């Protein structure tokens, strides 16, 4: 990664300066309580589409693959996530929960799934062209059933379609919906439990090695 950019929830800038590595304004209680530190980021499997070119022009019948996350024309997508936040396909790392739209991202000030309320989703119901779909990533798998039912009632009343998913699936869902050009919004809380594959660990090691690399 050539550009390491950190974006984080706005805090009082003066208090930030005391620490070297910037802490988010508000970490999820689950994260603080967890003995497990955010040691790495898990990669979302890239969205791929394949085109089979065959026949006389290409006797080898080669396959070409398009990785959607690398195409800027698809809009913002989530490349990886960790217990601390998300990394987007434009190289920006987001710390903490976020509200993501087709081409913009806002900080979402909630701690965990219990704070997903009609009030904390107020922006999505206020938006003037009604959202096609709202993808809510609640964090860890299994928490979506513990979300306040009043949220669902509120969203139905506002006639907004929604998907209530664990954050990992929610990110993939958002990526796909956004690549299709729908007017989609995502409200994601970083999961506290991140399962890393061997590929993810390798990526993390490589990234850490080049963490101070400055883009040319």
Partner 1 sequence: MGKVISTLERKARHFNVENRAMKVISKEKRPTAKRPGSVDLDSAAAEHKAQVAAAVKEKDARLEGMLKGVYLTSTDAVPDAKPAEDAARDVRRPLPTDRSPVEQPEWGYAEPKTVPPGRLTLRQAVAFLTAHQADPRPTTLARLAADRNLGIDAARHLVAHFRIFEVYVPDAAAAGGGRHLRVQDPLTAMKSLGPAAMAEEGAKQAGKMREQWEEAERILNPKRKKKEKEKAEKVLDPTPEEGK
Residues near partner 1 (CB under 8 A), total: 45
Among 120, 133, 141, 196, binds partner 1 (CB under 8 A): 120
Least distance to partner 1 from the beta carbon of 103, Å? 4
Strands 98-100 vs 184-188: parallel, antiparallel or unpaired: antiparallel
Q: For partner 1, give the closer residue by CB, 5 or 39.
A: 5
Q: What span, in angstroms and rounded, lies between the C-alpha atoms of 182 and 164?
A: 17
Nearest to 178 by CA among 110, 102, 103, 115: 102
3-class SS of residue 178: helix
56 SS3 class: coil
Nearer to partner 1, 176 or 193 (CB): 176
User: Which residue in 92, 137, 80, 149 sits closest to 112, CA to CA?
Assistant: 137
Only one residue has tokens 């919906």, namely 177
Report in angstroms the alpha-carbon separations of 180 from 75, 97, 200: 10, 24, 27
Told to check if 147 binds partner 1 by CB under 8 A, we report no
Q: Does residue 100 bind partner 1 (CB under 8 A)?
A: no
String of contacts with partner 1 for each residue 2-41, x by CB under 8 A: -xxxxxxxxx-xx-xx--xxx-------------------
β-strand 133-137 against 161-165: which pairing, if any? parallel
CB of 111 to partner 1, least distance (A): 11
Q: Which of 66, 122, 197, 206 binds partner 1 (CB under 8 A)?
A: 122
Instruction: Please pick, from the candidates 81, 86, 101, 188, the single residue that binds partner 1 as defined by CB under 8 A.
Output: 101
Residues of this chain that interact with partner 1 (CB under 8 A) are 3-11, 13-14, 16-17, 20-22, 73, 75-76, 92, 94, 99, 101-110, 119-123, 126-129, 178, 183, 212, 214
């Amino acid at each position: 990664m050539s550009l390491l950019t950190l974006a984080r929830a706005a805090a009082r800038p003066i208090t930030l300066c005391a620490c070297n590595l910037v802490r988010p304004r508000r970490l999820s209680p689950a994260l603080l309580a967890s003995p497990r530190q955010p040691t790495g980021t898990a990669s979302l499997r890239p969205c791929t589409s394949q085109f089979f070119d065959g026949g006389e022009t290409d006797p080898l019948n080669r396959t070409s693959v398009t990785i959607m996350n690398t195409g800027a024309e698809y809009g913002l997508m989530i490349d990886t996530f960790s217990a601390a936040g998300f990394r987007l396909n434009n190289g920006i790392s987001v710390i903490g929960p976020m509200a993501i739209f087709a081409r913009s991202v806002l900080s979402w000030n909630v701690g965990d799934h219990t704070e997903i309320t009609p009030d904390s989703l107020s922006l999505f119901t206020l938006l003037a062209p009604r959202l096609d779909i709202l993808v809510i990533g609640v964090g860890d798998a299994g928490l979506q059933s513990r979300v306040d039912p009043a949220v669902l009632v509120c969203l139905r009343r506002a006639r907004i379609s929604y998907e209530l998913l664990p954050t990992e699936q929610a990110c993939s869902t958002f990526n796909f919906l956004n690549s299709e050009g729908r007017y989609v919004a995502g409200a994601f809380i970083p999961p506290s439990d991140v399962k890393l594959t061997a590929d993810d660990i390798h990526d993390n090691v490589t990234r850490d090695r080049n963490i101070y690399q400055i883009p040319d």
